[in-house]
């Protein structure tokens, strides 16, 4: 379960050893309630009006800290565009080349077998698919 209320987020961040400042709570809340896999810029633009002292550097540093503490994960589909995700369960990402949206899909490798990797230990895996989403395909 991803915490979404200020109280629950406060508790969650503390339990991960992160001091829950207002800016950190707001940044996490944005990620937890917007499943769009936002970039640093998108988060900054969305919160800047409400948090007038917020800087882009703070957003960047907060997201780095969260990633380091396994509070969120970072997704790198394009080389120059890091996106962030509060959903830590294993899932794949589909990026639409038309609308640039990133969709989640269920993907659990643990139930399958990769033939050529017998006796290998898999520490992490990522699945990225690019294409055209259902919505854009209809237009
Ligand atoms: Zn699309
Ligand atoms: Zn995701």
d(CA 83, CA 76): 6
> Do 49 and 103 share a domain, yes or no?
no
> Do 54 and 105 share a domain, yes or no?
no
- What pLDDT, on the 0 to 100 scale, is given for residue 65? 98
DSSP 8-state code for residue 91: E
Asked if residue 84 belongs to a domain, the reply is: no
- What pLDDT, on the 0 to 100 scale, is given for residue 79? 83
What angle in degrees, to the nearest 10, is found between the helix axes of 22-33 and 56-68? Answer: 70
- What pLDDT, on the 0 to 100 scale, is given for residue 110? 66
Q: Which residue reads 């294993």 in tokens?
A: 90
What is the block-wise mean pLDDT of the chain (139 residues), using blocks of 10 residues?
Answer: 94 97 97 93 96 96 97 89 92 93 83 76 84 94
Which ligand sits nearest to residue 136's alpha carbon?
A: 1
- What pLDDT, on the 0 to 100 scale, is given for residue 111? 62
Which ligand sits nearest to residue 2's alpha carbon?
A: 2
Asked if residue 85 belongs to a domain, the reply is: no
d(CA 33, CA 94): 19
Domain that holds residue 52: 6-75
- What pLDDT, on the 0 to 100 scale, is given for residue 112? 63
Ligand 2 centroid to Cα of residue 93, in Å, is 6
Asked if residue 104 belongs to a domain, the reply is: yes
3-class secondary structure per residue, 32-82: HHCCCCCEHHHHHHHHHCCCCCCCHHHHHHHHHHHHHCCCCEEEEEECCEE
Number of structural domains found in the chain:
2
Ligand 1 centroid to Cα of residue 5, in Å, is 30
- What pLDDT, on the 0 to 100 scale, is given for residue 77? 84
> Do 110 and 51 share a domain, yes or no?
no
| pTM (predicted TM-score) | 0.86
- Of residues 124, 22, 18, 38, the one with CA closest to residue 84: 38
Asked if residue 99 belongs to a domain, the reply is: yes
Burial class of residue 138, CB neighbours in 10 A (0-12, 13-18, 19+): exposed
> Do 96 and 124 share a domain, yes or no?
yes
């Amino acid at each position: 379960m991803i915490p979404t209320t200020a109280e629950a987020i406060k508790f969650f961040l503390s339990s991960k050893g992160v001091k829950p400042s207002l800016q950190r709570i707001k940044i996490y809340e944005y990620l937890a309630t917007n499943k769009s896999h936002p970039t640093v810029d998108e988060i900054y633009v969305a919160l800047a009006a409400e948090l007038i002292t917020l800087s882009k550097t703070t957003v960047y540093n907060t997201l780095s800290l969260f990633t380091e503490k396994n509070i969120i994960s970072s997704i790198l589909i394009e080389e120059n565009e890091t996106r962030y995700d509060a959903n830590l369960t294993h899932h794949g990402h589909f990026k639409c080349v038309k609308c640039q949206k990133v969709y989640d899909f269920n993907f659990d490798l643990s139930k399958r077998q990769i033939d050529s990797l017998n006796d290998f230990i898999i520490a992490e895996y990522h699945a990225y698919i690019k294409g055209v989403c259902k919505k854009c395909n209809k237009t």
